[in-house]
Amino acid sequence: MSPRLRLSALLLPLGIAGCGGGGGGDTAAPTPPPAALQTPTLTWPEPAAIRWGTPLSAAQLNATASVAGSLAYTPAAGSQPEVGAQTLTVRFTPQDATRYAAVSTTRTLRVDKAVPQLRWDAPPALAQGSTLDASKLPTQPRALYGVQGAVDASSYARADGQPLASATAAAGSVALRARFVPTNGDRYEAAWVSTLLSVVPAPATARVDFGARRQAIDGFGGSAAWYYTPMNGARADVLFGTQGADALGLNILRLRIAPAAWNATAETADTGAWAAEMGNAVAAQARGAKVFASSWSPPASLKIVHPERRDPLWSGRLDPAQYGAYAKYLNAYIRYAAARGVTLHSISPQNEPDWDPTDYESCLWNADELRSWIANHGAAATAGSSTLLMAPESLNFSPATTEALLADPQAAARIGVLGGHLYGGVPQLSPAVLARGVPVWMTEHFLDSVNKSDAKTSWATSIDDALAIAHEVHESLAHGQYNAYVHWWLVNSSDAKPTGLIDANNKPNHFGIGLKHYSYFVRPGFVRVEATAQPMDGVRVSAYGGAQGQAVIVLSNEATAERSLTLAVNGSSTGWTPYRSTAQASFERLAPLNPSAGSLSLTLPARSLTTLVNLEYR
């Protein structure tokens, strides 16, 4: 109410008339007081915490009013609030100022320090017996995207916490860790980063020890998200089979949980939304594949929607009042899959909870929200099934989110698979994850072809693409010690611009060929064994053993010249069959090779992939 209206309300009841003639004349009738202005209702959910550098947007500035009018925020959208507890204010001005009063309210936003993205390139191989001075390593950790800082010199250690000097004790590979301390400690957290140091017994020699077991391998696969066309038998055989020249031998299928209408009263979902993609799960499982599913967005009815997105499924947050309902929704999906004959290996409540795209399904969760939901509702989501809960599936394998989940005993106990993506990051080894002992799956990444160009309307893959995906798989398994690698799409969305592993005619492109060098022979249940990961520049080696004496060694030569390499193999003395891919041939089977005194001499062609399989295996 304005000051002038308040004054009129005080004067008129006292009989003070308006100005006029002398006494005795008629006086004007008193003006009745105006009705009191109504106060509109403002609804503004408590904003989820953000990290420094995140601009304010409708994800935080999402108040609504009970009547028409305009909202003005302080700070405004686009501002980047500083670290700490920050006050957000909204001022609502009603369209009808004669009936409604303006009103303001506040919310508190927690702004956490940003976590720098770090990288530590693998140093050149070290000769066995050399002393190691961390300050003399030819490569050092660094932060990406211009973040300044330095490594804490006292933090260098083996990933298992042992002193760094013991890294040279035996030939093979050793994971090293160091702590990067940002210069701007007010805005950035210090963070750990790892790398893989190769120790060679002699120049141009790699050691492979099938008696030194590392992590179990759950397998390799790809996604059928938004793939509504049922796979015919021939396609499923190429993707998930191990017979025929084109078979890739994959054993993991990732599904999208399409947002289905949720009936809150009956606690049932419109399962028709799930039918199309589930048909492909039936085909994959029939060929021995594990099937897991990820949600890109909860149903709109369970969300606090993003008011600036034209589709309520795009962005927004899960309404905390609907946490329990969302667990029941995911459980309904598990039960629907079971009714179709599909036993889901695992289910993820959110694909990329830290990514806010503008044109497809998504939902934002911070680490606190995800931790709370998993701790309090994760068990209900998988109740009555053998399905594991997967989390967090962050965009770049966010270590901060993963560590927050594992630091909560109740949340950690609910997580059966730690999933993550490699966009904007590289595989890293996490001691917190190793200590927990939970499987780690890389569940999505797409590599653009080196032949892609904005000036081109089409392009083909090449051996360079095969080497690129093989490099990433190697780093994921040998350095990150992940248990599974899952590519983005299985089938090209357009053969002119390849995005999958096979084309419309079920022929593998070079991404499929590169992955096949692992997936065809390294089967579920195999174990990665110790091997000198990078015995020379451009050459990478990893090795795997099966329970029945099977042995597989995968080698890549990214150099533009051929390389000669000696493998000192312990634990498998039989002959080896090579399968080789170059610019001229794909997965070509070559004549068997026989070791001499436990060693195998190889010539690796320039820009090539080679998989060695012991003769007892195949």
Give the mean pLDDT of 449-471.
96
Please report the sign of the dihedral spanned by the C-alpha atoms of residue 382, residue 383, residue 388, residue 392.
positive
**Cα(600)–Cα(594) distance, rounded to whole angstroms?**
7
Between the alpha carbon of residue 511 and those of residues 222, 466, 488, the distances in Å are 12, 5, 11
Read off the pLDDT band of 168 (50, 70, 90). Answer: low
Read off the pLDDT band of 29 (50, 70, 90). Answer: low
Closest CA to 566 of 577, 579, 547, 553: 553
Higher-pLDDT residue of 515 and 163 is 515
Q: Give the tens place of pLDDT for each residue, 306-331.
A: 988 999 999 999 999 999 999 999 99
* CATH superfamily, region 206-213+525-618: Golgi alpha-mannosidase II (2.60.40.1180)
Task: Of 83-97, 423-437, 450-464, 492-506, give the lowest mean pLDDT range.
Answer: 423-437
CA angle 548, 553, 559 (to 5 degrees): 170
74 φ, ψ (degrees, to nearest 5): -135, 120
What is the pLDDT at residue 268?
96
Q: Two tokens at 516?
A: 């096949």
Give, for 23, the enclosing helix (H) or strand (E): none
Give the mean pLDDT of 142-148.
93
Higher-pLDDT residue of 294 and 162 is 294
**235: three-class secondary structure by DSSP:** helix
Residue 2 pLDDT greater than 50, yes or no: no
Give the mean pLDDT of 95-109.
96
Read off the pLDDT band of 294 (50, 70, 90). Answer: very high
What is the pLDDT at residue 129?
83
What is the pLDDT at residue 322?
97
Give the mean pLDDT of 236-259.
97
Give the mean pLDDT of 458-481.
97
- Counted residue by residue, the chain has a size of 618
**130: three-class secondary structure by DSSP:** coil
**Cα(368)–Cα(401) distance, rounded to whole angstroms?**
9
Give the mean pLDDT of 350-361.
95
Between the alpha carbon of residue 115 and those of residues 147, 189, 191, 353, 482, the distances in Å are 10, 5, 7, 16, 22
Q: Give the tens place of pLDDT for each residue, 508-517.
A: 999 999 999 9
CATH label, 218-523, candidates 3.10.129.10, 3.20.20.80, 3.40.50.2300, 1.10.8.10: 3.20.20.80
Give the mean pLDDT of 459-482.
97
**Cα(404)–Cα(617) distance, rounded to whole angstroms?**
43
Give, for 330, the enclosing helix (H) or strand (E): helix 323-339
Partnered with residue 69 across adjacent β-strands are 94
Cβ-contact 284, 249 below 8 angstroms: no
What is the pLDDT at residue 33?
59
Mean pLDDT taken over the chain:
91
Residue 147 pLDDT greater than 80, yes or no: yes
Read off the pLDDT band of 30 (50, 70, 90). Answer: low
Between the alpha carbon of residue 333 and those of residues 22, 212, 328, 345, 349, the distances in Å are 86, 41, 9, 13, 11
How is residue 271 annotated by DSSP?
G
Q: Do β-strands 527-531 and 539-545 pair in parallel, antiparallel, or remain unpaired?
A: antiparallel
Residue 18 pLDDT greater than 90, yes or no: no
Report the topology of domain 3-9+32-112: Immunoglobulin-like (2.60.40)
**Cα(576)–Cα(590) distance, rounded to whole angstroms?**
10
What is the pLDDT at residue 617?
63
Q: Give the tens place of pLDDT for each residue, 561-615.
A: 999 999 999 987 789 999 999 999 999 999 999 998 889 999 999 999 999 999 7
Give the mean pLDDT of 529-537.
96
Instruction: Please state, as a whole number, how many other Cβ atoms lie within 10 Å of the Cβ of residue 346.
Output: 24
Residue 25 pLDDT greater than 70, yes or no: no
| Percentage above 70 pLDDT, the chain | 93
Residue 19 pLDDT greater than 70, yes or no: no
What is the pLDDT at residue 28?
55
Read off the pLDDT band of 7 (50, 70, 90). Answer: very low
Amino acid identity, residue 296? W
Between the alpha carbon of residue 446 and those of residues 272, 308, 455, 495, the distances in Å are 29, 28, 20, 15
Give the mean pLDDT of 52-69.
93
Closest CA to 71 of 81, 80, 60: 60
What is the pLDDT at residue 307?
86
Give the mean pLDDT of 187-207.
94
